[in-house]
A and B are shown apart, each in its own frame.
Chain A
């Protein structure tokens, strides 16, 4: 009968196998962790997109279905510059009011060296029909209003800096502008260390636009249908 090979594995074989396994594992680890980072990034993007979609839809639906007659913008900056409130006030065609508030409280951080040393980062967007008159953004604290809905921005992680909580996702670039009294232009830009300033909410609407549709039938004859 043939004698079986029962010499076992040599040290060299074990070392070669070990080196191979380590190499493969390292390569896989780098790939998997790169994909994991990508997954987290996409998850963050999706959170920002969902937020942006909800907010844009709620506001634009009012602007399209009812229409704006007039709009004005205000900004209030706290004496130390750490808190900024932007307000857009609209009178609608049905006589109701709409107010959009963009509240930014910056805590001191490398990104905002002039931020507050006593307050945490806080970002909030509020939109709705104020009870009676527009909310006065110069009041401190800001009065609450049951008809104005809060849209807290997504929490995508935070860090501590000198005892204060600094959010990863913040509102950075805000533009509220009424051009020639006929176009309302609002941009709320987000900042995130990985997403940078790429994402934001853009709300643009004509003001007091009355569509002329009387002669619409067969106005164009470019293409015989």
Chain B
């Protein structure tokens, strides 16, 4: 009769199995933990407060007293990069609505707003934000493409406040102009103005949100051609976090 192998596992066998199991568990850990982070990140996307906040901004944009000239820097920025920033100064007259706009964006804690309700992180885009190959001829980039640019290309985003075509010149001009206006000593002004220039560039958190949004390929059921994407910076009650909302605009 054949002799039964009763030697048990050799060290090599045990090691192979251990390494195999370790690999499986490491992979599980590697893929599972980012999912938790992703879920926590999405908690601040389009929650009820932010959706209503975006609604009130949409109402101001839909108001006929809010006018954007297609031949302005904003208009050109829209054509080239698929967006422009909403600012309260675009409300046509020194009406109550302008004052209300300032108070509203500050109460809503819209990110990056100055006390006059300008330079806010409220991006007006076309209803469809990702065009791919179907981009309209006059549009250089759609919003999703603009937001996802990195490196030197990112500087292009700061062009909104500048008419120049040379991007570096545009950024330098912004910093120089900012420094001239600043009452700070030169070294501090340099730092502060560079910070200001950087604020104009989309941070990673904003890029994450925009990339997660659908392209909105199908037409709006309400006939909307535009949308807004709003970034909020919550600082009250010792908080410090950013949240996002988007809503279509019927103009």
In the bound complex, do residue A197 and residue B238 qualify as a contact, i.e. CB atoms below 8 Å apart?
Answer: yes
Task: Tell me which residues across on chain A come within 8 A of B64, comparing CB atoms.
Answer: 212-216, 219
Binds A, one of B9-17, B52-60, B155-163, B175-183: B52-60
Complex CA–CA separation, A123 to B172 (angstroms): 55
Task: Tell me which residues across on chain B come within 8 A of A60, comparing CB atoms.
Answer: 52
In the bound complex, do residue A189 and residue B103 qualify as a contact, i.e. CB atoms below 8 Å apart?
Answer: no
Interface centre among A1, A197, A209, A223 (most CB of B within 10 A): A223
Complex CA–CA separation, A204 to B53 (angstroms): 7
Identify which of A49, A180, A182, A197 contacts B237 (C-beta below 8 A). Answer: A197
Shortest A54–chain B CB gap in Å is 9
Binds B, one of A85-93, A94-102, A103-111, A171-179: A171-179
In the complex, whether B251 has a CB less than 8 A from a CB of chain A is yes
In the bound complex, do residue B78 and residue A222 qualify as a contact, i.e. CB atoms below 8 Å apart?
Answer: yes
0 or 1 for each of A116-160: is its CB under 8 Å from B? (1 = yes): 000000000000000000000000000000000000000000000
In the bound complex, do residue B56 and residue A175 qualify as a contact, i.e. CB atoms below 8 Å apart?
Answer: no
Q: Which of B214-245 contact A (CB under 8 A)?
A: 225-226, 236-239, 241
Shortest B169–chain A CB gap in Å is 25
Binds A, one of B65-73, B144-152, B184-192, B195-203: B65-73
Complex CA–CA separation, A200 to B99 (angstroms): 27
Task: Tell me which residues across on chain B come within 8 A of A189, comparing CB atoms.
Answer: 236-237
Task: Tell me which residues across on chain B come within 8 A of A223, comparing CB atoms.
Answer: 78-79, 126, 136, 138-139, 225-226
Task: Tell me which residues across on chain A come within 8 A of B4, comparing CB atoms.
Answer: 2
Task: Tell me which residues across on chain B come within 8 A of A2, comparing CB atoms.
Answer: 1, 3-4
Task: Tell me which residues across on chain B come within 8 A of A177, comparing CB atoms.
Answer: 107
Identify which of A197, A204, A219, A225 contacts B108 (C-beta below 8 A). Answer: A204
In the complex, whether A185 has a CB less than 8 A from a CB of chain B is yes
Shortest A12–chain B CB gap in Å is 14
Task: Tell me which residues across on chain A come within 8 A of B213, comparing CB atoms.
Answer: none
Task: Tell me which residues across on chain A come within 8 A of B134, comparing CB atoms.
Answer: none
How many residue pairs link A and B with beta carbons under 8 A? The number is 103
In the bound complex, do residue B52 and residue A175 qualify as a contact, i.e. CB atoms below 8 Å apart?
Answer: no
Complex CA–CA separation, A187 to B126 (angstroms): 32
Identify which of B43, B103, B104, B251 contacts A220 (C-beta below 8 A). Answer: B251
Bin the interface of chain A by size. 35 or more
Asked whether A187 and B237 contact (CB < 8 A) given A204-B107, A220-B70, A224-B136, the answer is yes
In the bound complex, do residue A172 and residue B237 qualify as a contact, i.e. CB atoms below 8 Å apart?
Answer: yes
Interface centre among B4, B53, B55, B237 (most CB of A within 10 A): B237
Task: Tell me which residues across on chain B come within 8 A of A216, comparing CB atoms.
Answer: 62, 64, 250-251
Q: Which of B36-84 contact A (CB under 8 A)?
A: 43, 47-49, 52-53, 55-56, 59, 62-65, 67-68, 70, 75, 78-79
In the bound complex, do residue B138 and residue A224 qualify as a contact, i.e. CB atoms below 8 Å apart?
Answer: yes
In the complex, whether B166 has a CB less than 8 A from a CB of chain A is no
In the complex, whether A5 has a CB less than 8 A from a CB of chain B is yes
Complex CA–CA separation, A215 to B100 (angstroms): 21
In the bound complex, do residue A182 and residue B100 qualify as a contact, i.e. CB atoms below 8 Å apart?
Answer: yes
> 5 A-B Cβ contacts within 8 A?
A60-B52, A204-B56, A211-B62, A214-B64, A216-B62
B: which residues have CB within 8 A of A? 1, 3-4, 6, 43, 47-49, 52-53, 55-56, 59, 62-65, 67-68, 70, 75, 78-79, 96-97, 99-100, 103-104, 107-108, 126, 136, 138-139, 225-226, 236-239, 241, 250-251
- Ranked nearest first, the 4 interchain pairs of A and B with the lowest CB-CB distance are A173-B237, A189-B237, A183-B103, A185-B107
